[in-house]
Structure 1
Amino acid sequence: MPPHTYTVSRLAYVKVLLHAAKYPTCAVNGVLLTSSPPGVTDVVVSDAVPLLHHWTSLSPMMEIGLDLAGGYAEDAGLRIIGYYEASERADDTSLGPVGDRVVSKIKATSADAVALVLDAQALSMGEAGLLPYTASPSLKAVTHSFTLAPPTAPSADSKHSPTFHLAETDLPARTLRAIEEQSLQQELGDFDDHLEDVRIDWLKNSKVTVVVEKL
């Protein structure tokens, strides 16, 4: 089977960045959803569900959040394909032990499981700002490169390794502008927020979805 090609949609990308921007001094994490059926090689990461900014370890809150996100995905005709995280340190782009274990758990049911780690320094330089990891047969995460746009021609590496790109090349600039000018990150809620205020729509984040569609 040829290697997978992952396209990160506008909605998924913006939610990941908003989550990190809302809690810049905390580690944050969440899950990635797809509408692509299992077995295809062209995978679209269509949405993201923000989980935690307090209890980011493998805690009962993490397990509950993952179960609820999985139920939401199933009801919406989607499936969990991956995990994302951002460190409280701008220079830390490693996938932590929690992320490694979550990706391995997802891989048990989805062979195309992936993790995305925020790279704040790359983002500040106009790049996508995401570092992808996939689970190897040994269950140890392997890192890959991420481009703004799909390659115009396949490279030697792409014939053997998965490729990752954004659905729209100007998404980083548009998202950062929405954060700076509209404070859009304040509209996003995660599972931790929901535990403090049950009115917060952490699974769908409808307010954010409406704005993102107009970005």
Structure 2
Amino acid sequence: MGDLIYEIGQNAYIKLVLHALKHKESSVNGVLVGRFDGGKGVVEIVDAVPLFHSNIGLLPALEIALMQIEEHYASQGLSLVGYFHANERSDDNDLGNVAKNIGDHLCRYFPQAGVLLLDNSKLEALPKVKDRSPVMQLYSKNGSTWKVEESNRLVLKEPSANIILLDYVSTQKWEDIADFDDHLDDINKDWLNTYLFK
């Protein structure tokens, strides 16, 4: 992997955290969309698509979602660059088998794919400490195993992202987010969350 930097845009970051907050009682996941700048050694995470909050390891639904997402973003010159996961229990900070398997799957197509795991303790501390670092931990693939990366390898593109996030949390903006599960239940629910930041 070298010393790649993973730079996450504000909207992608906020979307993933809101997805986890909406479904606090279950594991959630999503994919990261962006581009790889090999010259700078940066994986730019431009957008995020919340996937599931129930049956997160169900392969047929995952395959359908990934095909639709790739098709949608290809026209913008973007592709899948990683995966996001939040565990069901707030005290669980381990990268589980489902997250590793989906990460492995994405690495077949994009070897530099990273996995972001929500850190609930960082999220809970955010209003008190006014931290500017992401509330998630970056994992990268090293051979056949996933390892935690140094915190400076994952950066927020906009330093004020946590301030904006707190504003969305205080107004319970997570109620407006739709994931692929929601879309499969009701096709009127927009898995792209086009209007989330309007």
Task: Give the TM-score normalised by the residue count of structure 2.
Answer: 0.89
Equivalent residue for 1:130?
A: 136
Distance 2:39 2:71 in 1: 21
Distance 1:19 1:208 in 2: 12
State how many pairs are aligned.
Answer: 192
- Between stretches 59-68 and 85-94, larger displacement belongs to 59-68
Equivalent residue for 2:84?
A: 84
State whether residues 38 and 110 of structure 1, in contact with CA within 8 Å, keep that contact through their aligned partners in structure 2: no
2:109 aligns to what SS in structure 1?
Answer: coil
CA shift at 1:47, angstroms? 0.5
Equivalent residue for 1:194?
A: 183
1:73 aligns to what SS in structure 2?
Answer: helix
> Are 2:1 and 1:26 equivalent residues in the alignment?
no
State whether residues 29 and 53 of structure 1, in contact with CA within 8 Å, keep that contact through their aligned partners in structure 2: yes
The residue type paired with residue 55 of structure 2 is: W
Distance 2:84 2:71 in 1: 18
**Percent of pairs with identical residues:** 31
Distance 1:52 1:2 in 2: 31
CA shift at 1:2, angstroms? 4.8
CA shift at 1:39, angstroms? 6.8
CA RMSD of aligned residues (A): 1.8
Give unmatched runs, 5+ long, in structure 2: none
State whether residues 32 and 49 of structure 1, in contact with CA within 8 Å, keep that contact through their aligned partners in structure 2: yes
Distance 2:178 2:150 in 1: 29
Distance 2:40 2:58 in 1: 30
1:35 aligns to what SS in structure 2?
Answer: strand
Give unmatched runs, 5+ long, in structure 1: 148-162, 211-215
Selected match of 1:144 from 143, 149, 170: 149
Distance 1:198 1:112 in 2: 33
Distance 2:110 2:33 in 1: 11
Distance 1:32 1:38 in 2: 17
> Are 2:180 and 1:175 equivalent residues in the alignment?
no
Distance 1:35 1:45 in 2: 7
Distance 2:45 2:116 in 1: 11
CA shift at 1:193, angstroms? 0.3
The residue type paired with residue 173 of structure 2 is: L
